[in-house]
Structure 1
């Protein structure tokens, strides 16, 4: 089963490249290889084979990413395809699947959406090439930012096209929410329109926020002892480390590798609730890994307190909060545990996450959470690593902020003429407000 990544716009292409680098890095990383048993080695070989089959086309010892790289400007695409850059990697992009423009989208969702219609034929031809080189597709994974014009506008158009072209394929879209303080003046308009379109066409939206990623990056840079400011590479590394912890192979209780859409079934019991978040522990700098050791019980306790505090970070938590005082509720949770040890984590999860107050009143206790493990290989350089994917209320505050700031601009009819040039009128905005306000209300009512 294969997964095809759609890298859309500057953010999507930068993150997408780092995703493939991280997948390869994880496949090559084995803690204490001299101590591995024969069973471990066989299982690791199986893990690597599944990972490579899922994300790469393999031919004559060459790895080609199962990806489409799409942008309306040359800068990022040129960096991706630069010979010097490609020579440093263990993999490459297929030139047929790299689609670039020259005019950009001017941070305008409407312009990006129009550019999507102009590039539709080329994009679908590239997608068909990828499909022809896949035995079967498990999921399609668009990656985009909500702020600019290409990732948001063209991205929304492309996801809609793929939904029409492949109505039965699972579309898991990774979205990056812009800084609260603002990257572009119309970012909230762009975000509103993108969210309203994606909510119709995607099966799930995995939400990352730039504000949180920067806080996380500052923490890791500070802990590493480096005297420098954080940068976009630090943030992309954190995002892709989290994302790949979900994308890499994981097993069910029968030790069979699970497909991505199978993992997500338990998280999406209702098609209207499709906002997902990802929390991971431990949260350590690379320099601290060699000097740290953890028990599953302490990791799960930290994860529980992060959840109750409605926080993505494991610092600055209010440890006095109890489950009945939780600041977020879930439709469902999914845990992925990765390590060499075989220790059971079910009791710890039951102790910390089997509380009715953490979940919607509609969720039966048997569906509170699901657990999957891979216990024959660590993740990257982490002795133990656990990821919590939640369908919960956490992203609602970001959506609330986007809607509120969009209304402020819309009430003054500010910047609407930029969108009217491309036939996106006031009614399109009003439809977006209705859609996202309904999403916010539904999650708040959990």
Structure 2
């Protein structure tokens, strides 16, 4: 698993940290959107992405130079601070013990114990990328589970994490131009939503946040109650949460600026994360019991305790999600 973005929040400031090939590729898409000169950006859109001197509030880190060099070429010249581009000359061999992601998050947590960290990760394909990917996913997810929340949740966590130990979020998004048909956007958003586990157990959501963006159009307000009710039903919100669906509205669609467009983004604390955690744990357990590739981790200081703690952490998360009644 590759760590992609990590945001460290302090009073009136935010830092965007992009790590590795995947993180910097995602960052490239995001910064292209924000620095697009053809889009009608307002000064307020620049926060929290730009510093006062006009430079991006981004740190780009990779153990190889290729992806960051591409990022420099394709993003508006001068918006990156040269000192914030940190490059190595050789890779890390897809080895978590030799990599950077979780370690940097841990260092941030140690330095700013009350800060807010939001970690965005991209899971690998189920097979074929690297023989070490199951170990890396296990160790990354476990590490981030332990360090990715501060003392108090910020606004996103307050909306979608009623239980502090359950903080894996499922997101989906749909965007369309022209006349707003919010029912159509809902259908697009929920189309790929996992309905049940491999064993036939229906999935549920402890809470859901909907973000509706529409360029100078109040059509969402007219259908808001209907939209939220449909989302509540589609995401199978738990009955014990009296206010399971929250909604944020933006009258400008930054996802598709410069056009008459509408988008709906849904972030849900969804139990389908159990499927991912079970798959990662089972695959890693098989390899671990066979002592496969473990010498690569011992070589860089990883210990048996790290693996055992990782297994225990993910088992605890799965137990918490499984024990919440629908």
Report deviation, 1:308. Answer: 6.7
Establish whether residue 443 from structure 1 lines up as the match of residue 321 from structure 2.
Answer: yes
Residues 279 and 105 (structure 1 numbering): CA distance in 2 closer, same or farther, change over 3 Å? same
Select between 409-418 and 394-403 the one with higher mean Cα deviation: 394-403
Establish whether residue 55 from structure 1 lines up as the match of residue 53 from structure 2.
Answer: no
Q: Is the CA contact 2:160–2:209 (under 8 Å) kept in the aligned structure 1?
A: yes
Q: Between Structure 1 and Structure 2, which shows a larger proportion of helix residues?
A: 1
RMSD: 2.8
The one-character-per-residue Cα deviations of 1:107-143 (angstroms, maximum 9, x if unpaired) are 111112xxxxxxxxxxxxxxxxxxxxxxxxxxxxxxx
1:29 maps to 39
Residues 52 and 71 (structure 1 numbering): CA distance in 2 closer, same or farther, change over 3 Å? same
1:71 maps to 62
Report deviation, 1:183. Answer: 0.8
Q: Is the CA contact 2:209–2:245 (under 8 Å) kept in the aligned structure 1?
A: yes
2:9 maps to none
Count of paired positions: 304
Report deviation, 1:401. Answer: 1.0
Q: Is the CA contact 1:5–1:16 (under 8 Å) kept in the aligned structure 2?
A: no
Report deviation, 1:203. Answer: 2.3
Establish whether residue 331 from structure 1 lines up as the match of residue 206 from structure 2.
Answer: yes
Report deviation, 1:72. Answer: 1.6
SS at match of 1:386: strand
Establish whether residue 9 from structure 1 lines up as the match of residue 20 from structure 2.
Answer: yes
1:372 maps to 248
Residues 356 and 66 (structure 1 numbering): CA distance in 2 closer, same or farther, change over 3 Å? closer
**Which one of 173, 189, 192 corresponds to residue 280 of structure 1?**
173
SS at match of 1:179: coil
Report deviation, 1:350. Answer: 4.2
Residues 389 and 90 (structure 1 numbering): CA distance in 2 closer, same or farther, change over 3 Å? farther
Residues 265 and 91 (structure 1 numbering): CA distance in 2 closer, same or farther, change over 3 Å? farther
Report deviation, 1:64. Answer: 1.4
TM-score (norm 1): 0.62
Residues 11 and 421 (structure 1 numbering): CA distance in 2 closer, same or farther, change over 3 Å? same
**Which one of 129, 148, 154 corresponds to residue 261 of structure 1?**
154
Show the 5 A alignment for 1:101-112: 101-112=88-99
Report deviation, 1:444. Answer: 2.4
The one-character-per-residue Cα deviations of 1:272-307 (angstroms, maximum 9, x if unpaired) are 01101111124x7xxxx5xx6441133234435554
Q: Is the CA contact 1:378–1:385 (under 8 Å) kept in the aligned structure 2?
A: no
SS at match of 2:55: strand
Task: Indicate the structure whose relative CO is greater, using CA pairs within 8 Å and at least 6 residues apart.
Answer: 2
TM-score (norm 2): 0.84
Q: Is the CA contact 2:170–2:270 (under 8 Å) kept in the aligned structure 1?
A: yes
Which stretches in structure 1 are left out of the alignment for 5+ residues? Answer: 31-44, 113-153, 205-259, 312-324
Residues 302 and 72 (structure 1 numbering): CA distance in 2 closer, same or farther, change over 3 Å? closer
Residues 356 and 368 (structure 1 numbering): CA distance in 2 closer, same or farther, change over 3 Å? farther
SS at match of 1:64: coil
Show the 5 A alignment for 1:405-424: 405-424=283-302
SS at match of 1:55: coil
Residues 356 and 180 (structure 1 numbering): CA distance in 2 closer, same or farther, change over 3 Å? closer
The one-character-per-residue Cα deviations of 1:239-290 (angstroms, maximum 9, x if unpaired) are xxxxxxxxxxxxxxxxxxxxx93233111222101101111124x7xxxx5x
2:303 maps to 425
Residues 170 and 382 (structure 1 numbering): CA distance in 2 closer, same or farther, change over 3 Å? farther
Q: Is the CA contact 2:271–2:321 (under 8 Å) kept in the aligned structure 1?
A: yes
1:385 maps to 263
The 2-side partners of 1:177 and 1:357 are apart by 22
